[in-house]
Amino acid sequence: MLFKTVVLFVSILFSLRSAWAAETPALAKAAKPPADLFVSMDFDRDDRVNREELRNFMARLFTDQDNNRDGSLTPKELPDAVDADGKRIAKKKVRVEDMIGASDIAFDNLDKNQDGFLTREEMNIPVAPAQAKN
């Protein structure tokens, strides 16, 4: 169960990131995120992400994707998400509570030093090229 939840979280996160990057029509109305995914999660800009920042980030992604505002993401709203077995989530709806719950489990697993914060290294998110030059 834990593994499936973490895989779902990571799949959703990177599906939304990919969709944003591709600027699919469904995301045309969504705000463009910063080029650096980590920076977009780090609301207070302290170079680390706490649990609340990750929850808020996932809630914002959910809201941006929920085109029909029904409180769940359908396969059309989340086309690239896969489950733990690598199968597309074709008939499942994902609720914001699912995403936040998955983000909590993922946070606990990614926070290797258990300090209550995620670093870029713990999340394995490289610095975006534009950020690296600064």
Check: CB of residue 10 under 8 Å from CB of residue 82: no
Per-residue pLDDT tens digits for 90-116: 567 888 888 888 888 889 988 999 999
Residue whose tokens read 């998110």: 125
d(CA 118, CA 37): 13
* Residue 89: band (very low, low, confident or very high) from pLDDT cuts 50, 70, 90: low
pLDDT 10s digits, 27-76: 344 444 455 788 889 999 999 999 999 999 888 888 888 888 998 888 77
**DSSP letter (8 states) at residue 126:** P
Q: Give the per-residue pLDDT at 65.
A: 83
pLDDT at res. 128: 65
> Quick one: pLDDT at residue 2?
44
Closest CA to 11 of 61, 66, 84, 62: 84
Which has the higher per-residue pLDDT, 23 or 127? Answer: 127
Q: What is d(CA 6, CA 62) in angstroms, rounded to the nearest whole number?
A: 17
120 contacts 38 by C-beta, under 8 angstroms: yes
Residue 83 scores a pLDDT above 50: yes
How many folded domains does the chain comprise? 1
More confident residue, 73 or 6: 73
Is the pLDDT at 86 greater than 80? The verdict is: no
- The pTM is what? 0.69
Instruction: Of 6-10, 11-15, 73-77, 99-103, give the range with the top mean pLDDT.
Output: 99-103
Residue 34 sits in which domain range? 2-133
CA dihedral 117, 53, 123, 9 (to 10 degrees): 130
Q: What is the dihedral of CA 95, 98, 101, 106, to 10 degrees?
A: -120
**pLDDT at residue 28, rounded to an integer:** 40
Q: Which residues pair with 50 in a beta bridge?
A: 117
